[in-house]
Structure 1
Amino acid sequence: MNVAAYVAQFLISKNVHHVFGYQGGAILKLVDEMIATEQISFVQHYHEQGAAFAADAYSRIKGTIGVAIATSGPGATNLITGIVNAQLDSIPTLFITGQDYLANITADNGARQNGFQDLDISTIVESVTKYAVLVTDPAKIRYELECAYYHATQGRPGAVLLDIPIDVQFAEVDVDKLEGFTPPQAQAAPEPMDLSEAMQALQQARRPLILVGGGVRLSDACAQLDEFVRLSGIPVISTLNGLDLVERGFGFAGLHGHTAANLAAQNADLLLVLGARLGQRQVGKIPQKYTKARIIHIDIDPLELRRVFPQEIAIQADLKVALEVMNSLLASLTLPDHSRWRNIIANWTEKYHHNVLLNREGLDPVSVVEKMMPFLQRGAVVTCDVGQNQMWVAQAFRVKEGQRLLNSVGLGSMGYSLPAAIGAKVAESERQVVAFMGDGGLQINLQELMLLRVRRLGIKCVVFNNNTLGMIREVQLRYYKENYYGTNPSEYGCVNLQLLAQAYGLGYRRIQTLDEVMALEQVFADSAPYIIEVGLVLDSKLTNRYDEAACFEAERLDD
């Protein structure tokens, strides 16, 4: 068997049946062998970045490793943004790059380049992957595949890359003699998990709060979380990555989060953090303003513990295991009744909902999304881009019935939403997929619209169009004396979206009033791809910063 065929068989053994990529000379053999299996579908994108984002989203929805492939040189470098995105959001992904002939890439002659499109991509991405290697020995292909898969999926997941030269791909190997990878020996049986301090703190707290992050889903602990919430009766808020985890939560806390969630964080006396890294967009530049609560932090990555709050009760553990232990302990404990505390947060939710409805001219984007929420079906997947649109959707989104919300969080990459929607739709074609984006994010990867037509993907693309980079313009207003360089209408604008939809053979609607939103029910229900343009005024607003609103001091609980 040749190396390329072995790679294809390995992917099938890991339940990978879709590979995203962009064809090129250095990967023709790999893709050819994948197709020959009749078990792998190759999804041809229009830019390698789109393929990388699609593989990321595919992994999030399918629950298996996502795979993207690209040719050498510029194909490989075009993957890098997607590689970093998967790494920072802890998404198990395998990136495979073709490479020039082995002699060219390994020649030690000091030349800048020996062949065509040869580039040492594995060294370039070493700092932004869990594992990256140039495969120089065909007999090591089994070892390298198993090693890469192990690193991508074990512990805190992330991105890995294998760079495979053309002649290595064609090399014949004896499958029965290939060396395998042996995972590191497990540590000696750990001591029973000591949760005594954490459980005692939960019993003593008057206003405890659970903060859930994306690590809950990565550890497959959703059922255990639901059980813990039910048994404890403790109110739940989330990070942006955890917003689709709990149906009865009080929204997401953070820089542009829900006022009620941020008030809850500031007034809690105990904060149980589950699988969240407490990044700056979550807790701000001065974490002590975010909360004065005692903190219990459970995470699989020891480097995240005590990084922001040095005095926290830090528990390094797989969340699934930790929650199972905590649930068993709760069965024999009686926690205080937190219904009064829950009612306080619920009242804040109603009282301060207006904080996210900021537009006084034209359409209010949060109101638009709220009107669209009933059109989302059971199990629908929502993808967001980065910028004002991401926060508007998060402020309006209320998860129900297995729905998912996908975001580029750690890297915060514009251009994520559309290819992520494609990856989600390929992963589970029967699910409704809605991609929200701004005009800026759309234009970074708008070439991927062609995939909607070619593969007949019924994705609804909701484009908030204010003909500018809205979040940047708002920062320029607040901090740069209204010096709108790069965001002036004379410098930046949006393509005519109606003509764009026609060019790509997509349906089109333009929304200018809330009543017109209500007429979209059938559009959301059918199987055709659409661009839905939401026309906004130039200076549409997104503020609602928890570190500036006066209500946070006014609502401080001192009892």
Structure 2
Amino acid sequence: MPISMVLSDYVAEFLAGKGIDHVFGYQGGAVTKIIDSMVNGGRIRFVQNYHEQASALAADGSARISGKVGVAVATSGPGATNLVTGIANAQLDSIPVLFITGQDYAHNISKTLGRLNGFQDLDIVSVVKSITKYAVTVTDPSRIRYELEKAFYLAANGRPGATLIDLPIDIQFKTIVPEELEGYVPSQEPSLPVHTKDLETVLTALRGARRPLVLAGGGVRLAKAEQALRHLIDATGLPVVTTLNGLDVIEGGLGFAGLYGNTEANLAVYNADLLLVLGARLGQRQVGKVVEKYTHAHVIHVDIDPEELRRVITDSTVIHADIRTFIEALTEAVGTGLSQDWPTWWEMLRGWQREFGKNVHVSVTELDPVRFLTTLVEGADDDAIFAADVGQNQMWLAQAFKVRGQQRLLNSSGLGAMGYSLPAAIGARIASDSAQVIAVTGDGGLQMNLQELNLIGHKALNIKCIVMNNNTLGMMREVQKRYYGERYYGADEESFSCPDLERLAYAFGLDYIKVTSEDSAPDVLAALRKTGPCLIDVRVDFDSLLLNRYDELHVFEANTIHDPNPAS
């Protein structure tokens, strides 16, 4: 005889069966039942955040570290809308996250364009349709298996991203018979074989290149191709730079390229005659406003998403392929190596590293943010997880970060959501019991999700929160200085301030360290190794600086390689 069960219990069993052992969320009337099913089943841990946006971003951080689909839960109405920033973040950075929202009783859901009938009643599916791979309200209990399987599959497969299942309160209580439910069968996706002609095109270009370069993006990790890329680099001797999202995919690179990238990495891209782009979207923060000034190279762009190909560099050679499959096939095709190892090119690259590695250090008399963070990155554990926020602090950390071992760097790259680092670090901490977890934020980003310090303190989570504190919105202040006649609306002492972080730390039950000098770096490293939460208040100059590529136009003019016969 078929066994029946309550629909909310089925959802919990489904998630547990997929290896989901924790979800993030905020309790509310429309999700009490489903959360009860998750926790009461004994297989899923519910992490109560203090804002639904933090739940969404924590699920994002957890997914990046665990390699599984992250899950966040929120109640109807404002609970669901508070998820929106995190939903967009997961979608734009291609992070697999399933969002589950509660909904008002099914009969209250309005079918008209007028106001809805119930309390906290909102059509969240219409709200998030443009920022998800799939979103649906389940009003027929018999569809729950199909919709769950579809949402979970789409979140994790192809180009990963955000999906959402909206569940009315009464539907959660319905009785279903799992054996009678229809499942989801993915449509047969077209295979993406790596064609011999594509490999020949790349090999011919590499053999003819004098200054080849690999640009590795976040798609390398999404495709689980880190080891494959390492093997390719070892087999070919190709130099590699990364995007912001690719900074932690390979050890030994030249740094990250882009608007705020390392000078030596940007010079390498600019002067390359062949640029092999692997899993990078080539957005404006990467290539700049004038694409022609980004590189002189023949660009070969490989990506699983055909929409990204020729979107920016229209005359590039494009290869639509899974990144790992492509890299493995190229490595095999290379065999024992190429006919040259480009010694002259490597000599130039190493010269730029020696000459310009110090350029990111912009302060002589005050604490230099990049130099200080470089010391911390170098002294952190080989498996340390850094979660960056958005603003000057993010770019300082990116300029300082040279990955070692299994270190990770989590960024909100596509959306650029201030307030990302603290909840992302929480997600990383829950997903990894042993790794050192370090949130790096600014005093602005910290205050976007300040309430999550309560979760860290209450649960004594072993997270170190480093606040690069200049008591202003530093990046906005720079923009206003450059382009708005030093009119600092919203970024001056009258309109913006940072609270007393020492009192704040003690209020939330965190240890506190104040840093005013780079001489304190050893004390900070010692604190990173201690168990327990700590708020580290790093005082940087009010008018702190952040170099970008436009500040170094003279460097590019002086180091341009004029090649009459570029590779093609």
- TM-score range (shorter-chain normalised) is over 0.9
CA contact (8 A) 1:262 1:546 kept: no
Instruction: Give the direction of change, closer, same or farther, for the CA distance of 1:320–1:519 in structure 2 (3 Å limit).
Output: same
Aligned pairs (5 A) from 1:142-541: 142-187=145-190, 192-195=195-198, 196-331=200-335, 334-541=338-545
Report the CA distance between 1:38 and its aligned residue.
Answer: 0.8
Q: Which amino acid aligns with 2:40?
A: A
> How far off is 1:372 after superposition?
1.2
Aligned residues: 558
Structure 1 residues 65 and 207, CA, compared in 2 at 3 Å: closer, same or farther? same
Matched, 1:135 2:127: no
Superposed CA offset, 1:421-455 (max 9, x none): 00000001211000000000000101000111122
1:308 to partner: Cα distance: 0.9
Task: Specify whether residues 510 and 145 from structure 1 end up closer, same or farther in structure 2 by C-alpha distance, changes over 3 A only.
Answer: same
Q: Please name the residue that 1:15 is paired with.
A: 19
1:92 aligned to 2:96?
yes
Distance 1:416 1:537, change over 3 A: same
| Residue identity opposite 1:543 in structure 2 | L
2:147 counterpart letter in structure 1: E
Which residue of the partner structure matches residue 554 of structure 1?
Answer: 558
Partner of 1:82: 86
2:70 is the counterpart of 1:63: no
Q: Tell me, yes or no, if the aligned pair for 1:381 and 1:433 is still in contact at 8 Å.
A: yes
Q: Deviations over 1:64-113 (max 9, x none)?
A: 000000000000000000000000000000000000000011x3355402
Letter in 2 for 1:295: V
| CA distance 1:191–1:346, change in 2 (3 Å) | closer
Alignment partner, residue 121 of structure 1: 124
Native 8 Å contact 2:194 2:321 kept in 1: no
- The 1:548–1:373 alpha-carbon spacing in structure 2 relative to 1, beyond 3 Å, is closer
Residues 197-221 of structure 1: per-residue CA shift (max 9 Å, x gap)? 1221111111000000000000111
Query: What's the TM-score once normalised by structure 1's chain length?
Result: 0.98
Q: Which residue of 2 aligns with 1:26?
A: 30
Q: Which residue of 2 aligns with 1:112?
A: 115
| Alpha-carbon contact 1:302-1:316 (below 8 Å) kept | yes
Q: CA deviation at 1:223?
A: 1.1
C-alpha separation in 2, matches of 1:197 and 1:401: 33
Other structure's SS at 1:533 match: strand
TM-aligned CA distance change 1:35 to 1:189, over 3 Å? closer
- 1:463 aligned partner, one-letter code: V
**Partners of 1:256 and 1:546 within 8 A in 2:** no
One-letter code aligned to 1:270? L
2:81 counterpart letter in structure 1: T
Distance in 1 (alpha carbons) for counterparts of 2:336 and 2:188: 35
Deviates more, 1:188-197 or 1:495-504: 188-197
SS state at 1:241 partner: coil
Amino acid at match of 1:467: N
**Per-residue deviation, 1:41:** 0.1
Cα distance in structure 2, aligned partners of 1:487 and 1:444: 15
Show structure 1 runs of 5+ residues with no match.
none
Structure 1 position 191, deviation (Å) = 7.8
Q: For structure 2, which runs of at least 5 residues remain unmatched after alignment?
A: 564-568
Amino acid corresponding to residue 316 of structure 1 in structure 2: H
Letter of the structure 2 residue corresponding to residue 494 of structure 1: C
Looking at structure 2, the residues matched to 339 and 95 of structure 1 have their Cα atoms a distance apart, in angstroms, of 51
Q: Percent identity?
A: 53
What RMSD over aligned residues (CA atoms) do the two structures have, in Å? 1.3
* Cα distance in 2 for residues equivalent to 1:555 and 1:392: 24
- 2:451 is paired with a residue whose SS is helix
Structure 1 residue 193 displacement after superposition: 4.8
Q: For 1:331-381, what per-residue CA distance to the aligned partner results, in whole angstroms no more than 9, with x for missing partners? A: 065331223312211111110123211124421111110121233102110
Task: State the shift of 1:558 in Å.
Answer: 2.3
